[in-house]
Each structure stands twice: as structure tokens, then as C-alpha cells.
Structure 1
């Protein structure tokens, strides 16, 4: 079965960008070399920030973070862990910066009132499952959450943010993308030196196959390694045999398209947008036109759906993803350590 060509939409806002290709090429030498002085400065600043002590919350804090810019599946991991904690009867609250949103101060997300432009798309997804707080000051968000009754805090991103003490940090790595070319910004996609990050992490969660050899390359400094894969939700079953146009604005949109094909859905066209992309009226008109011309259904992700106005969402079919852990006991053991550190 042939795969449709993935098109990058030219319609995107200037503040959203495609990562440069040399970020993904470990063999690249010229541009990373030229940018090395700036990378060394970024790495030094990142290391210095980690020396600052953060506020210690009176409840357990788990951070799901990453080393690289762009999507690795952190929010999917957070949603999985939130569901597990709720099953245990734990009052869990989520903390996120609210990337892409205009609200910068500590605010509890109200899914009925806030939009993605207010708080970001990830915050809206989290707020559908548990109380969620946005704001750049993670300690302030944590204090507000604890005052509101949180018995456990889950951070979506913030691994490099020293403002809040983490009792446990789960570093999420995309198996296909790995750590890119291994260089720190701007010579590569990394926010800090990988060796420093891996030494601070409690565990690494590798999502998908290790196609870039991360586990072997960093074996001397790796903490415990957990593995999982993304699994398309059951809502995809209704799309089998249906003509579809798939589109997504993610860190790696191809993950969504591949998941559809693995589930037996072969889109007639796939459109890739930048991560956290806010769709314009022109984009919506263009998408509807494409679907009409191809006599196809528009299919996208939950993260994309929440960026559209409610009226337009009625024209979309949303297909979510979940996490399938290689060792089903691993996430529960992780939570045992988080909630009962002495006993575990």
C-alpha cells in the first residue's frame, strides 16, 4: 500500500517555524561548527540555572520533560499518568507553561471559558482530565494548586525550569527523532547538554523504537529506561474504508499519519503544519475546499482540534492516541516510588 506524500503547508504564522534540517543530521559539521560559540553559551546558562534551588512543595511532584525542543509525546505521557493516579484516588493537578497562550500569570484553566489562544492547546487537553494550571512561574502554580487541594503535581514540561523542586523527573525521548544531531541550541535542537540532563533524570521513557541509537550512545549516564509506543485510539475504527485527508500541527506530524496507516486508515492526502500552529480563517477555508474536492473526511488530532473554534470542530473527525507500555508494571512502579519514596 503506497503512502500519500506529506505536504508542508505554506500557510503558517511567522512565529511558528520548521526546525532546520541540520538539527536532525548527526553528520552535519559546517553549520553546527559555526554556531558552536552560541551553543556553548546556551549550555553554560542552562547548567548555571540548575544550581538554583527550587521551592519544595508539600506534595509529590513529577516532571515529564525532554531535552529537545519540539514534541516528543510528553502530554500523552502526562495524560496516561494522570489517569493512573486518578485510578488510585489521588487528587492530581497538572502544571504547564501554557505554550502559545497569551496568559502568562498563574491561572487555573477553564475549558469552558479559555481558548487555545489564551492558555495553549496542551493546557486545554489536560484540563479535560484534571485541574490544570498555566503560568511561567511553576512555583506559583504549584502553590495555587496545593491551596486548591492537589495531593500530587504533574508537570508537563519544565525539566529545565529550576523554580519548582522535582521529586521525580521522567525524561521523554522520541525513538525516531532521538536527540537530533546531539548539539545544544542553536547548533542543534537540545536545550542543554544531554549528559547533564540524563544525570538529573530519575528515568528515561523511550517512545517507539530506538532508531538513532540513543540508548547505546548514552549508556554510561542513562538512568533506568522505560519503553512505550503510541497507540491510536479506538475512534479510528470508524474511519476504515473512508476517504480521509489527515492534517496535524505537531512536533513530528508524521507520527500521526503513520499511526493512521498502521490502524488501517490510508489518507488520500496528509498535510503537516508547525507545532502549536494556530489555524487561520484561510486555513479553514482551504481545508474544507480540499475535503470537498476529494470527497474526503478531515481527520486530525485532539491537540489540533482544540485550536479551532467550536463551530469548525463539527467538520472534523478527531483521532486520539494513547500509550502502550512495553512493561505494563513499569509506570505503576514509578508511581509507587513517587508516592511512597521511603517504602519504595
Structure 2
């Protein structure tokens, strides 16, 4: 589970103290890439990842790409590592037999209407998808820094409000790799939300940049109009959900933030329910959180669906398709 540390936002004394460890992180990352031999599978791979630890909205973008590529005649399959799940795979996610503890919350959520394969080993998973003979493109959720699987389209997603934080490597900052190296890992960038962090200016024309925004289901908010809400979330940036509810006119009585992928315990749920009762509020959470709740709790908590709205969806799809149709470079090292 990941919770964004406060020192990742600014270059304070704690971040400075951790810089020597960031140097070790950089060395380990360099060795991993220097010794890797990227494997190519028979299908093109679209990788949707990010340069920072924590949430940027990758999974809704993966879902959007799957749905809209399918509408253009492609036959996609999603490849996920299954973070937070116990299965190593490769295994196709089945919502009737699997739960979040087995395959991870994000794969389970996407598999409600999409073909999703979980595999701890990305290369093995990609080969399993190709072996099915039913698909013509793989969309990989995360794994931009994984050097073992070759990618045809590499998309880096940024949270417009967070950007790259203080710009330093883990653990002094949120970056998984240096900014310069990260630029070389991407074919295009997607900025999720208002770009208050100035990510587009930092990219400065080196890559195509597309803008999207996360939108919540307005019908759900309207159905709860006038009802106090206790909103809780265990995602990368819980504040994004809370702000969206407020902007939609929801009456927020209290908010509770948990770490990304947080497994809700009986104690957590009792606390949430008691807080809701104290405020006379209805409980509401994201789809990703809702799917991690025990079955008996799902009836008590309102699910807030979230989707992606690109500034220019056709331009984004055209950019992806252009790269998909290019010959695969067998010598390319990610």
C-alpha cells in the first residue's frame, strides 16, 4: 500500500536526508535495465504507466483505451500485475470466482466488462494472451519501468495537481526514475486534471501531450442531493475524489483517507459506520474501494463510478493507433 509522504511535495530537510538512498535507488534501477534483455511477443503492447509512485489515474485510462479501441475494431486484452492480490498467474480474472484479495482490486474492477489477465511475470502474461489467438493488442496497466517486456506504445500518465512532486527519486521524492530517463521511456504523455503543477511546460514539446479529466457519475450525486455524505477512499490521491464531489455540489460531512489499495478491516469499517452515524451521513466511496469491501458491506455503501473524459479523444486514439501500426522495433530497449 502506498500513501504519499509529505516530504515528496517539497525539498525539505527530510527529503535532503534521504537523498543518499535515492542514489542507491538510481543505481539499482540502472543495473536492472542494463542487465535486462527485453522480450517481444507476437502482439503489440500498449503500456500505460507513470514516472512517480502513487496514483495518477492510470486504470481509468486503461479502461477508456480498451473500450474505445474496441469500438474501432481492435480486439484488446488487459495485462495487469494484480497488485494486492495473491495470485501469481497467468490467470484470466473472473468476477464470479475471484475477489480483490486474489487478483487485486483494479483487475477485478476492470474485468466486470473487459478481458483482463493477471500475471506477476509480465512477459509470461503477454505470451499467454497472445497464445489465446483471440486478441490483436495488449494494454498493460503499469509497468513503464519494467525492462523485460518490449512495448510498442509507451504512455506516461501524470496527475496535473501533483506532477512529479519535488522532482527527486524515491525515497527522497516520488520519482521512480529520473526525469531525463523517464522522458526516454515515453512516447506520449497524458495529464490527468488541471495542470497546476506545470507538467506540460516541463515536457516542453519533447513528447505529444494529451489532456484528460476524471469525471464522477453526476446521476449518483444528484440522487443524494441534500443528503450529508461521509466520503472515504483508499486510492492514490483521495483528495481528487473529495474535490470532485464538492464541485458537483455534494454535501460532504466528513472525509476519510486511506492508503492506496488499503484492505478494509472490520475495525476500519466499524469506524467508518460510526462516523457516518454521528454525522447522520450516507457512506460513499470509489468503485476501486467498493470492490474491496466485504459483500455484506457493499449494500450499505454507495458506489461512485468514475470515468475519463479526454480533451480530444479522437486525437488521443489516432496517436495510439499510429504507433500501433508502425513496425515493431526488435532492437528497442525500454
The runs of 5 or more residues in structure 1 that have no matched partner are: 1-15
Q: Is 2:309 the partner of 1:328? A: no
1:284-327: per-residue Cα shift (whole Å, max 9, x none)? 22222222332221100000001012221011111111111112
| 2:80 alignment partner in structure 1 | 96
Tell me if structure 2 keeps the 8 A contact 1:111–1:127.
yes
Cα 1:66–1:294 shift into 2, 3 Å: same
| 1:187 alignment partner in structure 2 | 172
Tell me if structure 2 keeps the 8 A contact 1:195–1:218.
no
Distance 2:222 2:320 in 1: 32
1:31 to 14, 19, 22: 14
1:134-155: per-residue Cα shift (whole Å, max 9, x none)? 1221010011111222211001
Q: CA deviation at 1:257?
A: 0.5
Q: CA deviation at 1:72?
A: 0.4
Cα 1:47–1:219 shift into 2, 3 Å: farther
Tell me if structure 1 keeps the 8 A contact 2:2–2:236.
no
Tell me if structure 2 keeps the 8 A contact 1:62–1:338.
no
1:230 to 192, 214, 219: 214
1:177 to 144, 149, 162: 162
Q: CA deviation at 1:219?
A: 2.2
- The TM-score, its normalising length taken from structure 1, stands at 0.89
| SS, match of residue 140 in structure 2 | strand
1:285 to 255, 270, 278: 270
Aligned pairs for 1:116-265 (under 5 A) are: 116-148=100-132, 149-219=134-204, 222-234=206-218, 235-265=220-250
Aligned pairs for 1:53-64 (under 5 A) are: 53-64=37-48
| 2:331 alignment partner in structure 1 | none
Q: CA RMSD in A?
A: 1.6
Q: CA deviation at 1:255?
A: 0.3
Q: Is 2:40 the partner of 1:42? A: no
1:231-288: per-residue Cα shift (whole Å, max 9, x none)? 1124333122222111100111000001111112121111111110000111222222
Q: Is 2:59 the partner of 1:86? A: no
| SS, match of residue 123 in structure 1 | helix
| SS, match of residue 240 in structure 1 | coil
Distance 2:315 2:30 in 1: 30
Distance 2:161 2:289 in 1: 22
Q: CA deviation at 1:17?
A: 5.4
Aligned residues: 324
The runs of 5 or more residues in structure 2 that have no matched partner are: 328-334
